[in-house]
Amino acid sequence: MSDIDSKALRAAMSGTGPRKITMRQAIGFGVGDCYGGGQLTLIATYLSLFWTRFCGMDIGTAQTIIGLSALISAVAALVFGVLDDNLYRYDLGLRFGRRRLLLMVIGPLILLGVFLWIPGLPLAVYAAAYVFWVVLAQAFQTAYNPLPGEMTPDFNSRAKLSTVRLFISTGIGTAIPVAGGLVLAVTGETTPRGYMIFTIGSTVIFAVAVFACWRSTWEMTPEAAGFGAYARGGRDGHIGAARWMRRAAKVLREYASTLHIKEFRKHLAIYLLVQVSMDVFGQTFVFFVVYDWNRTAAFASLLLGCAVVSLPLMPVFGWAMTKIGPKRLYAINFTGCLIGAAWLCAAWALAGRIPGGAWTVFALAGALWFFAFKSLCGYLPWAVFPYIADIDQIVTRRYRSATFSGIQASFRQLGSGLATIAVGVILGAVGFDATRDMQTPAARLGLGAVLLGWFACAMAICWIVSAHLNISKRTDGIVLKEITRLRNGGAKADVAPETRSVVERLTGLDYDDCWR
């Protein structure tokens, strides 16, 4: 490797050994999820509403564009996952890093998202802009999600990174609807001007946040990630299309191999149900408040702002993650979510039947309860994710976090796309029309069933699956200790009985089939 490449590599890695995670560094990492979490809130809360009110679309068309774009994003996730994990094979990755290279490119490209919020454009422009938006968001998640595992192997430090990340993500997810509600209250809901002010402003904030994250994070060296030979001069050089095509079968096998890990299959089931439920909830909640509760979009934004209650709870989430473990925390979480869904349903049943002031207090209290547990619902899968690659590493000897992120995101986008299309079809079938001031009883019932029925069913299934999780601070520590022992030349035959048992329970494989 030339001196120039060596210097660039050292700069990209920001160090060659484990570094202590301070609060400043955790914030530098977590600020990236202003975009990751914020853009989901922005799109889910306002895009369908904006398109149907000001861009000439009906609900079916808007939901179809969103759903089909998610399917495209599912394919993009597979491409980005393996590409990002293997960028150390090439000069480009060695010069700029594999995770941080994508972050550096994505920041300025986010600004193209303003085209989603300009009325009067052709339908094809909205569709193309949204496809680009979701693919860009997918590229970001592929590079961003592995960073806690890249930055430190320590369980508590990873929990700190995940906690700060979710604190910031929840904060921006809360601030967006609150800001939206305030702007709409001032400018009115009948013109696009207010929507454009805060959506375009939010897009600029997203771009700045990704730039700050790029400047504040680091990743594993090629040696630590299993690509030392390429750093020492054995790299592949030019990335050619023909070479990637020849590797297509290997890429598919790489993704399929992630499903061999038993704990990942459980985690994936929970993650998919949680995320798709949140997508459906976000796409329908404003409509639910406006038409089933007979309140304004500004009031819906106020209720979404109740998610702020989870911000002081984030340190508690992080503490509970390390002290009682994900299995017990999941049980508490899903119980709270089911109670919250029942509370919102009760508010629906009582709307117009009790005095307005009492109803508002009841609805606000239900929203506070619901969003506190909904935030925990969003926190836990991401807090668990960094440890999945540790379990895989005891099997494959490689740290493949972006590959896991890619397959996870692909399934998520596939599920989200199909669910979004299904929501549009169901609402269209029951006669829902967002251009009307009032909906038919069948449309209101269908809207409530989509919002609350799906969420409650998903939470019940997640509760059952989470009861069989085995990952914890203790079991992850055992896995990491065994990886270190084997990497230092230890014999597989000398494995301790407890370690063998833990590895087999987490991987679902015989210990003799691990560390291949």
Q: What is the DSSP string of 406-440?
A: HHHHHHHHHHHHHHHHHHHHHHHHTT--TTSSS--
Q: Which two tokens stand for residue 406?
A: 């890619």
Angstrom distance (rounded) from CA 116 to CA 292: 28
Nearest to residue 374, comparing CAs of 438, 462, 434?
462
- 224 band by pLDDT with thresholds 50, 70 and 90: low
Name which residue leads in pLDDT, 92 or 501: 501
Widest CA span of the chain, in angstroms?
Answer: 76
Q: For all residues of the chain together, what is the average pLDDT?
A: 81
Q: Which two tokens stand for residue 1?
A: 């490797």
Read off the amino acid at residue 289: V
* Structural domain spans, the chain: 20-222+248-471
* Low-confidence winner among 92-96, 379-383, 508-512 (lowest mean pLDDT): 92-96
- 225 band by pLDDT with thresholds 50, 70 and 90: low
**Number of neighbours of residue 398 by Cβ within 10 angstroms:** 15
Angstrom distance (rounded) from CA 402 to CA 146: 6
CA 185 to chain centre: 30
Angstrom distance (rounded) from CA 356 to CA 344: 16
Instruction: Give whole-number Cα distances, 308 to 297, 455, 491, in Å.
Output: 18, 21, 51
- 93 band by pLDDT with thresholds 50, 70 and 90: low
Q: Which two tokens stand for residue 225?
A: 């990630």
Q: Which two tokens stand for residue 398?
A: 């490689």
- 114 band by pLDDT with thresholds 50, 70 and 90: confident
Name which residue leads in pLDDT, 331 or 55: 331
- Confidence check: pLDDT of 74 > 90: no
Phi, psi (deg, nearest 5) at residue 268 = -65, -40
Q: Which two tokens stand for residue 307?
A: 């998610």
- Confidence check: pLDDT of 502 > 90: yes
Angstrom distance (rounded) from CA 59 to CA 43: 14
Percent of the chain with pLDDT over 90: 16
Instruction: Give whole-number Cα distances, 281 to 19, 53, 285, 419, in Å.
Output: 39, 20, 6, 11
Interval 116-130: pLDDT, tens: 888 888 888 888 889
Q: State the average pLDDT over residues 349-363.
A: 87
- Confidence check: pLDDT of 505 > 90: yes
Q: Which two tokens stand for residue 484?
A: 């270190």
CB 180 within 8 A of CB 43: no
Q: State the average pLDDT over residues 389-410.
A: 82
Nearest to residue 402, comparing CAs of 85, 147, 144?
85
- 28 band by pLDDT with thresholds 50, 70 and 90: confident
Please give the pLDDT value at position 391.
92
- Confidence check: pLDDT of 180 > 90: no
- 285 band by pLDDT with thresholds 50, 70 and 90: confident
- 332 band by pLDDT with thresholds 50, 70 and 90: very high
Q: State the average pLDDT over residues 93-119.
A: 81
Instruction: Give whole-number Cα distances, 320 to 59, 133, 171, 323, 331, in Å.
Output: 41, 35, 20, 5, 12
* Helix H or strand E segment including 96: helix 91-96
Looking at domain 20-222+248-471, does it have CATH number 3.20.20.20? no
Please give the pLDDT value at position 243.
64
| CA angle at 196 for the pair 195 and 198, rounded to the nearest 5° | 75
Encode 179-191: b = buried (16+ Cβ within 10 Å), e = exposed: bbbbbbbebebee
Angstrom distance (rounded) from CA 116 to CA 112: 9
Please give the pLDDT value at position 7.
42
CB 79 within 8 A of CB 241: no
Name which residue leads in pLDDT, 314 or 462: 462
